[in-house]
Structure 1
Amino acid sequence: MEYADSDQVIEVLDGAVSTRVIRHPDRSFAFEVTLDLEKGSKHFSRKPPIHFHANQDEFIQATEGKVGLEVDGMEHVLLPGEDEYRIEAWENHRSYPIEQERQEGKTIVKFLLSGAKSSEVYELNTLFFENWYKYQEHVAKNGGKINIIQVLSTFDAGGTYIAFPRWVPFGRRVSQVMGIVIGRWLGGLLGYQPFYREWSTDWQLACDKMESSIFQRRWADRSKVD
């Protein structure tokens, strides 16, 4: 991991989540994520959806406090000083801060998050996380509800799909198809964008990715400026 004073910081939910974008020579993206348990008490009470990444392995390593990681139904508690945990592509998982009563007085949780490089258009990268974080903040601040089509659209753009229960036959493939058909195809026709200009630092990259789909290329307006 390479740190610099000029590193981009993505801060949402009134500072409850702060993500520092750092450089890693062998990864598609690398973040240092800081969670403030006191500021985010109402946001962290609900765990994120179980999901999987179709095109990349993901890596997570706790550096401060305890981080919960659920992989294929089993919870792992990640502790500072331990090696990074590799989440393989297609593994159902979710990560979250362990509840404050189990943090031994810690109110700040930090972890490193990164993803393997990929040649796929639909991949985990900074652009995906910017839009996913900002969408959640938009919903929280406006008192709205999560729109499942928007979630599927954004997730699909990051090669990410919501996991079905394990008893669903061919659940991962069904979930991926649902993400493509509803999130990318139907969502594009209904006006849902995977990336939004106001949430995207690299708008040209967002345009490159949206232009790869006939259902989304109308949103790739390169004339938009800051």
Structure 2
Amino acid sequence: MARAWQRWLSPRPLLRTNISTQTSFLTAGNAARYEVIYEPNGRWGCRETHYIDNPRVKAGMSGPPLHLHWKQDEFFRVEQGILAAIVDGKERHLTKDDGTLMIPAGSRHRFWSHPSATESLVFYAWPDPCKDVNNILDVNFLRNAVGYLSDCEREGVKPSLFQLILFYQDASSMWTPEFLSWVPNFILSGLHYVLANWVAAGLLGYVSSCVSTW
């Protein structure tokens, strides 16, 4: 439980929406919908729909910031629309005719709906490995990040960079801002660790998983 002085230093939503059991949920501003899918072989994935009429989608802002995953490859298969993606500095555009895009673990990447699209972007994404172990990109990470951003918007609170960094750190992932593109990953990793564990968790009292506290 955050103390009053921690809330003063870094304001946060007073109430958190419980989406811990939901398999389908909307992002902030209703820009996109995440539908979690569990497959018979034990793999899980997420079907994302980025609504073309939403201003954030039109502006290319409905996807995540530039980031990487340390332990998992990530796969994308477009079902509708045009997926724009940057992978290690190279931009690609994919449609349903382009097969599966694989992003190797450790690759800096981001994705969004390409502005030339005439229909909503729908794609299926999944991580590999996707075993139920700690500190990986999993369903709880999606719920934590999406739920937190939505609650901040509902209460008019500016999202905390430190809370988001802590979410990423707990999922063995890392933000890689474009203005730090010249910095090697191992140096960014050390900075990310300090901001997540010493500042976000230690100083400001944020927790790595809000799902468990709902």
TM-score normalised by the chain length of structure 1: 0.74
Q: What do residues 189-217 of structure 1 show as CA deviations (whole Å, max 9, x unaligned)? A: 22111211xxx3xx3xxxxxxxxxxxxxx
**Which of residues 23, 30, 50 is equivalent to 1:8?**
23
**Which of residues 137, 141, 144 is equivalent to 1:124?**
137
1:1-226 to 2 correspondences below 5 Å: 8-24=23-39, 29-38=44-53, 40-42=54-56, 45=59, 46=61, 48-99=64-115, 102-103=116-117, 105-106=118-119, 108-117=120-129, 121-164=134-177, 165-168=180-183, 171-189=184-202, 190-196=204-210, 200=211, 203=212
Taking the aligned partners of 1:78 and 1:43, their CA distance within structure 2 comes to 16
Q: What do residues 75-107 of structure 1 show as CA deviations (whole Å, max 9, x unaligned)? A: 1001013221110010010011111xx11x31x
Question: Shift of the alpha carbon at 1:58?
Answer: 0.6
C-alpha spacing 1:14/1:163, structure 2 compared with 1 (3 Å) = closer
Structure-2 residue corresponding to 1:220: none
Question: Shift of the alpha carbon at 1:145?
Answer: 2.5
Taking the aligned partners of 2:84 and 2:129, their CA distance within structure 1 comes to 24
Taking the aligned partners of 1:157 and 1:82, their CA distance within structure 2 comes to 33
Taking the aligned partners of 1:7 and 1:59, their CA distance within structure 2 comes to 23
Whether the aligned pair in 2 keeps the contact of 1:27 and 1:117 (CA below 8 Å) is no
Q: Which runs of 5+ in 2 are unaligned?
A: 1-20
Taking the aligned partners of 2:123 and 2:185, their CA distance within structure 1 comes to 27
Greater Cα offset, 154-163 or 135-144:
135-144
Q: Which runs of 5+ in 1 are unaligned?
A: 1-5, 204-223
Across the two proteins, how many residue pairs are aligned to each other?
188
